[in-house]
Structure 1
């Protein structure tokens, strides 16, 4: 039996499917990341828009900015062979990993400082109570 999945989507359908607000979807459209067709005031999203929305949300989850995601979309649109896009993604991944590694080191240092401060407070409290 043939699939009856729609090839177009209303903004509410996408919002529900991805558990985001319609306002978020309109924002991504304003940023040039999505380009639905219009029928009067109604936005009509196609499969390409749906895939892009999924990629936007995945990129966000991985810590990529909307500008970075937009750059990747532009590269893909310009060169469907995607070699340049993959090289750019690899650069973004390396940068993100470096940033996260630095943040992890910073967090470790802060945790040690907090543990030292906590220990100092406990020692001072025990002296006060003696």
Structure 2
């Protein structure tokens, strides 16, 4: 087995273990989440909504690949311009929600590398939905 195949299997095994954890819920496409804080917003984002979020993105190794909190500036995104797994999550969150999210590689960047993220990487996010426009 080559290194890329071993890495893919390691990431798939991680997602399978997370799915069995208490308090972890599953969305479409195998995207997993755990509620850190439940918000009280009445509206959920749609695909064309612009959302404001704070987030930290890590790999299963714990390596941080992006962190709006470190920049001390939340980010605004149009939901349908994000990776599929992030879109799925945002369309289920309410303003004030803070979730720990586990996105399988198939709903992230797939087999392609993206910057410091290797192909077949599970993406772990701590996402706080601040606003929806």
Same fold (TM over 0.5): no
Between structure 1 and structure 2, the one with the greater Rg is: 1
TM-score, normalising length: structure 2? 0.23
Bigger fraction of residues in strand: 2
Bigger fraction of residues in helix: 1
